[in-house]
Structure 1
Amino acid sequence: MLNARIKLRHLTAFLEVAKRRSFARAAEALSISQPGISKAIRELEEILETPLFERGPQGVSLSQAGLTLLRHAGPALRALDEGVGAIGDGHRGTRWLRVGALSTVESRLLPLAIQHFHAAPPLGIGEVCVSVVTGASAYLLSRLRLGELDMVVGRMTEAREIGDLYFEHLYYEPLVIVARRAHPLARVAPVAADQLVDYPWVLPPPQTTLRQQVDSFCVRHAITLPPLLLETLSLPVSHRYTLESDALWIAPREAVIGELDKGELVEVALPFEAHGGSVGVCTNASMKASMSRDAFCETLRQVAAQRIRPRS
């Protein structure tokens, strides 16, 4: 039985701080004062007789006890919220699947999977609407852990935030360096690593799984990042900037395969990765079983096996 001293405000404050890694940002999101949210967390820690957060110069992080509470409190409050919402929802028949998408799957895998899922709804489930949220792996995985997403799809095996979540591998996808067709390096083969730093780079932001691979590439080739950088996870921004400048875009091959096939972009003759990273689907085993989630995971497996054909 839930401790009677634990109130909904305690758990709401805890989940918001866990998601935003900041007391100030959590207070702003909940429209309460920072002392108010600090008091709620302090009361919850006193009730549970254990610290839930570790304070540091970069903000706050969950303690082991905090991770344990998050694994259960997030899905529980999410289920309560859905139950209350369902009572007042005039569209009671509508079902939603909440999918977190990394840039590695935005262009091909996920759109194809949703198309197949809607074209042939699984028997016994009926029509299911899909809500897609994009962002960095740390943000999406934190929302999955909170129960705010049903799954996260993309390349994330290097993500430290996976923790106790379940990751299922679908296929390998390498990062590539691409440029506009008339780029000075487009006809150079092979390209030396030190030639790359003469041009602006388009690359993932810090603290992302893909950026870790960029940093490793620089270390392997004894180069530093160029002075001009565009850091973004936006595919349209990256695409347009690369087409209209001498920038080099470091991207998952799946994200640029269409532009490569059309000849708008070309791959620079310097392999970025020998093998590639594991693209897959991450789920939260502590969440209530869902037929629509399981059916969509199966659709992802089928599309990955039949439609995704990485170039050799």
Structure 2
Amino acid sequence: MNIDSRIKFRHLVCFLEVARQGSLARAADALAVSQPAISKTLKELEDLLEASLFERGKSGASLTEAGVAFLRYAGPCVQALRDGVNSLRGGEYASSTVRLGVLSTVESLLMPETVRRLHERHPALVVSVVTGPSAHLLSQLRVGELDLVVGRMTESPQIQGLTFEHLYSESMTLVARAGHPLLGRPLPPSALDDWPLVLPLAGTTIRKSADSLLVQSGLGQPRRKLETLSTVLSRRYVLTSDALWIAPLDSVRLDLRSGEMFELPLDVQEPGGSVGVCSNSTLPLSLGAHWCLEVLREVGEAYREGIYP
């Protein structure tokens, strides 16, 4: 089916602003046009698409199922055109920026490889990374302060209403430094009474997985523990002490390969959580965000096929 040439840029801008504002009146104010003009433009678009895009009521305008489907494509289309125009106005080498929220589960391997590939292909791209708990990062994504959030976050309540795309699955494991007294013998139920334990920060999505693994393994809650989302702090503490660490596999994969850390045997294996990328479908993605999403999918496929890391 060919695109109807009667669909104009103004139709898409009008549609996106009504979707963003949830009201024809507020959209009219934002676009500095009259409300009848907004209604007329929407009616033209709906007639051309042969679909109703909004449910209108006293409380405002909400997207229909067809409207939600159209939003997935209209937003990126408009943003890509704006980015293209801006890049020409700014010169051939004008930079683009992508704002990422990155959870600790993907700091060690996924994101460095993603950024490396991005900068190889787009030398002027600025990658701005914010780290923290999933709840905080998803709230920033919801209000448009971030373009994408990457990590293990499907159990976070704040993900409701956002779009999550699975990249690969990752399990958690219990590790200790090389030469730890527990290596080479069965793990006693009292292990956590004798040694400190490093855990993800309380209240985070990944902490729930860590606590579940402790319960299923028959290990009690430790008396001494370090709660943090910092992989740098966790790694250094474990390598220089007798502390144990319930860690996402990616955070310790290189240390396990080098022999600096070893996995401790557990009676159960954590089933693994979904590592993916979250976006806000109500807001258009920048050109830099589109590039990043493309590379994340590529590296995610390499994970699934065992090619990387």
**Length-normalised TM-score, structure 1:** 0.66
* C-alpha distance after superposition, 1:249-281 (max 9, x if no partner): 111000111111111111111166342100000
Per the alignment, residue 182 of structure 1 pairs with: 179
In structure 1, C-alpha distance between the alignment counterparts of 2:303 and 2:114, rounded to whole Å = 10
Per the alignment, residue 270 of structure 1 pairs with: 266
Per the alignment, residue 138 of structure 1 pairs with: 135
Q: CA deviation at 1:148?
A: 0.6
Code of the aligned partner of 1:109:
L
Q: CA deviation at 1:98?
A: 0.4
In structure 2, C-alpha distance between the alignment counterparts of 1:193 and 1:232, rounded to whole Å = 24
Q: Percent identity between the aligned chains?
A: 45
Code of the aligned partner of 1:99:
L
Per the alignment, residue 259 of structure 1 pairs with: 255
Q: Superposed, which structure 2 residues align to 1:227-246 within 5 Å? A: 227-246=223-242
Q: CA deviation at 1:307?
A: 5.0
* C-alpha distance after superposition, 1:113-159 (max 9, x if no partner): 111011013xxxx7321001111111111111111110000111111
Per the alignment, residue 154 of structure 1 pairs with: 151
1:173 maps onto 2:197 in alignment:
no
Q: CA deviation at 1:283?
A: 0.5
1:284 maps onto 2:280 in alignment:
yes
1:209 maps onto 2:233 in alignment:
no
Per the alignment, residue 107 of structure 1 pairs with: 108
Code of the aligned partner of 1:132:
V
Moved more, 190-199 or 230-239: 190-199
Code of the aligned partner of 1:251:
A
Q: CA deviation at 1:180?
A: 0.6
Q: CA deviation at 1:168?
A: 0.4
In structure 1, C-alpha distance between the alignment counterparts of 2:128 and 2:274, rounded to whole Å = 24
1:97 maps onto 2:98 in alignment:
yes
Give yes or no for contact 2:147–2:285 (8 Å, CA) kept in 1. no
* C-alpha distance after superposition, 1:46-103 (max 9, x if no partner): xx99xxxxxxxxxxxxxxxxxxxxxxxxxxxxx9xxxxxx9xxx99933210011111
* SS of 1:2 mapped into structure 2: helix
Q: CA deviation at 1:235?
A: 1.1
Q: CA deviation at 1:2?
A: 2.7
**Structure 2 unaligned blocks of 5 or more:** 1-24, 30-57, 60-78, 80-85
Code of the aligned partner of 1:201:
L
Code of the aligned partner of 2:144:
G
In structure 1, C-alpha distance between the alignment counterparts of 2:27 and 2:303, rounded to whole Å = 51
Give yes or no for contact 1:176–1:272 (8 Å, CA) kept in 2. no
Moved more, 291-300 or 198-207: 291-300
Give yes or no for contact 2:173–2:270 (8 Å, CA) kept in 1. no
1:128 maps onto 2:125 in alignment:
yes
In structure 2, C-alpha distance between the alignment counterparts of 1:224 and 1:283, rounded to whole Å = 37
* SS of 1:164 mapped into structure 2: coil
Per the alignment, residue 26 of structure 2 pairs with: 2
1:300 maps onto 2:296 in alignment:
yes
Moved more, 291-300 or 258-267: 291-300
Code of the aligned partner of 2:105:
T
Code of the aligned partner of 2:110:
L
Higher gyration radius (CA)? 2
Which aligned segments of 4 or more residues in structure 1 are displaced greater than 4 angstroms? Answer: none
TM-align CA RMSD = 3.0
In structure 1, C-alpha distance between the alignment counterparts of 2:166 and 2:157, rounded to whole Å = 16
In structure 1, C-alpha distance between the alignment counterparts of 2:267 and 2:155, rounded to whole Å = 20
Q: CA deviation at 1:222?
A: 4.6
Pick closer, same or farther for the CA change 1:137–1:238 going to 2, 3 Å. Answer: same
Q: CA deviation at 1:160?
A: 1.6
Code of the aligned partner of 2:297:
R
